[in-house]
Amino acid sequence: MRVLLHGLLHLLYPAACHVCHAVVPAGSGPFCSDCLSALIGDRASTCPRCASTIGPYTDVASGCPHCRSEPFAFDKAVRLGPYEGVLRDVVLRLKHLQGEGLAEMIGTLWAEKRLNQLQALGAEVVVPVPLHWWRRWQRGYNQSEALARGLAHRLGLPCRPRWLRRIRNTPLQTQQSAAARRENVHKAFQCRARTVTNHAVLLVDDVMATGSTVNEAAVALRRAGAPRVVVAVLGRSHASIQPGQPVDSW
């Protein structure tokens, strides 16, 4: 009877993919096979320091050509995929209140499909990049926090969104050049207390362009006593970002 009831419910209310809304078989999960493949199908070689796409023979001993001269405060960076196609569409959808449930699903999927990679980072706590309280109120939620909750739950790690806060409501990063982005977020973050001391932190954001935002957040965490900060971003954009392009979460 339970199986029959489940089948009847599926006929009346067929499950739909949470990305493209195509009908999916009952019990197959929240995403269709095409969207699932697009979300987790990143097979490109990436820089272990900044998560940029690199060639197969690139020397990354000191970082790739994109980040070699950058004095990052974080130790490593990983991504779910490049900021393009389906993943780009998902990131843009997450910037609206209706995307909160989708963000948690994506975070859980990310942890399930990249479990070994994420566990190898050795993080002890998950901290999302925060929004300024005014922007969070306007948006209704913080997409990076929802992603972090999904990741933390599957990884079995505590999620601490209040350990880091944004203390300046700066102009959108998408309106800035690469150099201006660094200055725009300078000293924009602060740890609420020294609770981060002796904790290796997995810092989570939705997208990384120049790395200015996650780097400045990592600076605040390191100053508060975090011995190690590793970054996980949903989408990693190409290095050549032009002002006005819809990339950054700010």
- At residue 119, what is the residue type? Q
Kindly write down the DSSP assignment for every residue of 226-239, as one continuous string: -SEEEEEEEEE--S
**Exposed, middle or buried by CB within 10 Å (0-12, 13-18, 19+), for 193?**
exposed
User: Which domains are present in the chain?
Assistant: 1-40 (no CATH), 45-236 (3.40.50.2020)
- At residue 179, what is the residue type? A
**28: how many CB neighbours lie within 10 A of its CB?**
12
Using one digit for the tens of pLDDT, what is the confidence trace for 83-139? 999 999 999 999 888 889 999 999 999 999 999 999 999 999 999 999 998 889 988
Question: Phi/psi at 221 (nearest 5 deg)?
Answer: -65, -40
Q: Which tokens sit at 114?
A: 């990249």
Beta bridge pairs of residue 78 = 232
Q: pTM (2 decimals)?
A: 0.86
What DSSP element (H or E) covers 218? helix 212-223
Using one digit for the tens of pLDDT, what is the confidence trace for 43-90? 999 999 999 999 989 999 899 998 998 999 999 999 999 999 999 999
